[in-house]
Structure 1
Amino acid sequence: MGHSHGHDHGHSNLKGRNLIISILLNILITVAQVIGGLISGSLSLLSDALHNFSDVLSLIISYIATLLSKRQASTNKTFGYKRAEIIAAFVNAATLIMVALILIKEASERFFEPQAIESNVVIWLSLLGIVANGFSVLLLKKDSKSNMNMKSAYLHLLTDMLASVAVLIGGLLMKFYEVYWVDAALTLAIAIYLIFVGYDLLKDSTRVLMLFTPDTIHVKQIVEEVCKITSVKNIHHIHIWQLNEDEVHLEAHVDFNEDIKLSEFDNILDEIEEVVYHKFGINHVTIQPEHGKCGSKQIIVQD
């Protein structure tokens, strides 16, 4: 028998208008920085443009996810499109790391052979990045407090703004002190940051796609808490997985001390739900009741 603990469908409350404005602003920044990077010869500006382009993809994914989340599940899509953004995040993270590795190669070569940079272009375009990303950050700040997806986009844009600040500092150093190697150094710093962010995103999306138990949940603690409930003999054959950023599922077999009625089981199921929701954040529970049934009673069973 199964039961689901009610939860808030956060994606349906996203502000699509703010996301569209942020997407358009980041497209503007990306195009301007690519053109400016080619004209000025600044590798750090081009690397920042790639970073902003990754944010455009990230914001588009967030917006598409908002639209897809409104679609109802069906007989051939019983979970609907709840994992679309996880798959996209995995692909984007892998691409992000590949781009960062290419940037490191280019920056290493440029570091030993510094080239003159048109610093004025770098300065003005980095200022454009600071203003546009700063405005996007303000647009998404409110929604970021109530939705994990929006919080991710918000933090990404915030770090973009800081990256533009770094590029601005580099442009000023090149303009007034002709320290051209700083361009390659900033490119390396941005690339390393991209690897850091990309790796975390790749790891997290892989865990979700592979149905791994979330890091914050400890199975043995769940067993201890559920076994404190009256009439429960043991809980075994446990599966815990994260469907997306909002839903965590628990599936298990529960062995009872007595041959209880179905109505009694429903009451115990409510208790189990409350325990795992409030203590472990699990909001979807499916329990198979058992009494005196032969079979493995191991917590984790190799199906």
Structure 2
Amino acid sequence: MSHAHTHNHTSLKGRNLLISIFLNIIITTAQVIGGLLSGSLSLLSDALHNFSDVISLIISYGANKLVGKKASLQKTFGYKRAEILAAFINAVSLIVIAILLIMEAVERFSNPQEIKSNLVIWLSTIAILGNGFSVLLLRKDSELNMNIKSAYLHLFTDMMASVAVLIGGLLMKYYQVFWVDSVLTLLIALYLIWMGFDLLKQSTKVLMLFTPDNIPVKEIVNEINNFDSIKNIHHVHIWQLNEDEVHFEAHIDFNKDITLSQFDDILQEIEVLVFKKYKINHVNIQPEFGKVDAKDVIVQD
């Protein structure tokens, strides 16, 4: 019964993501065409934001589908890093395109162009409705899953960006202040750079096997060194496979030549300690006794 419930929930989550993907593809296409026809740069920049949502949703959908795929001899970690790699590529492209939009917006300040505001108003309204519906679809799942939460936040922020574009369209229609289009473009592009840089930084840290920011290495080393049977812990590696898995590897020198069963008991204590206090869920310890090697906490391999 429990297995069936999980399967149905995963299918429902996948269906909601798929609906959101199709909605955002339609919105993005409409905004690109509308932006080109109306001459609105802010509408095009909002289309870029929507496109980033499409990528984010596809990543989330793909990750949801790949959960059931097993590891193999050629892929011992399976596809667990696919979404990290995609996030890195998405972040780089987002920053590059946002910089190009800023350059265009700055140029338009000196040469404001008349914008077909009616098209901007209608398309931004459609974007608000479409993203709002997607937000409602994913809201429940976002409370239970970090992957879905990131997609949910993308959609929510894009809905707010579309509200800004709508306000700009109304100002252009009734007050003929066409420079507001360039201002909105700058604001949205700067937001995209901020969001893209944060995503780039996070994904780079994971790809480079950096220690997660919330893991205090010295504190963990000191706690394990306080075990009576342990002489020294060294050659420590702490790294993140994806958003769900944190790995801890180390060499441990024991005070005496213990049995394998004694080592298993100590290993279990270490696993409980690092999981409860630091959310590290994969532990790999190499036991040693009297081995001559480097005893530094961090050893360059």
TM-score (norm 2): 0.95
Aligned residue for 2:236, secondary structure, equals strand
Contact 1:14 1:66 in 2 (8 A): no
Correspondence for 2:40 among 34, 39, 42: 42
Correspondence for 1:257 among 249, 255, 259: 255
Distance in 2, Cα, partners of 1:229 & 1:63: 44
Match of 1:83 in 2: 81
Paired amino acid for 1:47: S
Map Cα deviations across residues 216-256 of structure 1 (whole Å, 9 max, x no partner): 11210110121222312221100111001110000001111
Match of 1:282 in 2: 280
Paired amino acid for 1:42: S
Match of 1:5 in 2: none
Paired amino acid for 1:201: L
- Mean CA deviation greater in 90-99 or 255-264: 255-264
Correspondence for 1:117 among 110, 115, 118: 115
Where structure 2 has 5 or more consecutive residues not aligned to the other structure, the ranges are 1-5
Contact 1:167 1:186 in 2 (8 A): yes
Match of 1:60 in 2: 58
Paired amino acid for 1:103: L
Match of 1:296 in 2: 294
Distance in 2, Cα, partners of 1:102 & 1:216: 35
Match of 1:188 in 2: 186
Do structure 1's residue 172 and structure 2's residue 166 form an aligned pair? no
What is the CA-CA distance between 1:39 and the residue it aligns to? 1.7
Match of 1:3 in 2: none
Map Cα deviations across residues 120-165 of structure 1 (whole Å, 9 max, x no partner): 1111111111111111111111111121111111111110001001
What is the CA-CA distance between 1:209 and the residue it aligns to? 0.7
Paired amino acid for 2:47: A
What is the CA-CA distance between 1:260 and the residue it aligns to? 1.3
Runs of 4+ that moved beyond 4 A: 11-14
Aligned residue for 2:251, secondary structure, equals strand
RMSD value, Cα: 1.5
Do structure 1's residue 93 and structure 2's residue 91 form an aligned pair? yes
Match of 2:267 in 1: 269
Match of 2:222 in 1: 224
Map Cα deviations across residues 67-115 of structure 1 (whole Å, 9 max, x no partner): 2221100111110111111111111110000100110011011111111
Query: Aligned ranges for residues 28-39 of structure 1 at < 5 Å?
Result: 28-39=26-37
Question: Structure 1 vs Structure 2: percent identity of aligned residues?
Answer: 70
Map Cα deviations across residues 186-230 of structure 1 (whole Å, 9 max, x no partner): 000011011001111111111111111111112101101212223
Aligned residue for 1:102, secondary structure, equals helix
Correspondence for 1:150 among 138, 145, 148: 148
Do structure 1's residue 18 and structure 2's residue 2 form an aligned pair? no
Match of 2:3 in 1: none
Aligned residue for 2:163, secondary structure, equals helix
Paired amino acid for 1:163: A
TM-score (norm 1): 0.94
Aligned residues: 294
Aligned residue for 2:77, secondary structure, equals coil
Distance in 1, Cα, partners of 2:31 & 2:89: 24
Distance in 2, Cα, partners of 1:209 & 1:176: 50
Paired amino acid for 1:35: I
Aligned residue for 2:273, secondary structure, equals helix
Distance in 1, Cα, partners of 2:205 & 2:260: 36
Distance in 1, Cα, partners of 2:260 & 2:216: 29
Distance in 2, Cα, partners of 1:15 & 1:258: 52
Paired amino acid for 1:122: V
Distance in 2, Cα, partners of 1:148 & 1:228: 35
Distance in 1, Cα, partners of 2:181 & 2:258: 72
Paired amino acid for 2:162: S
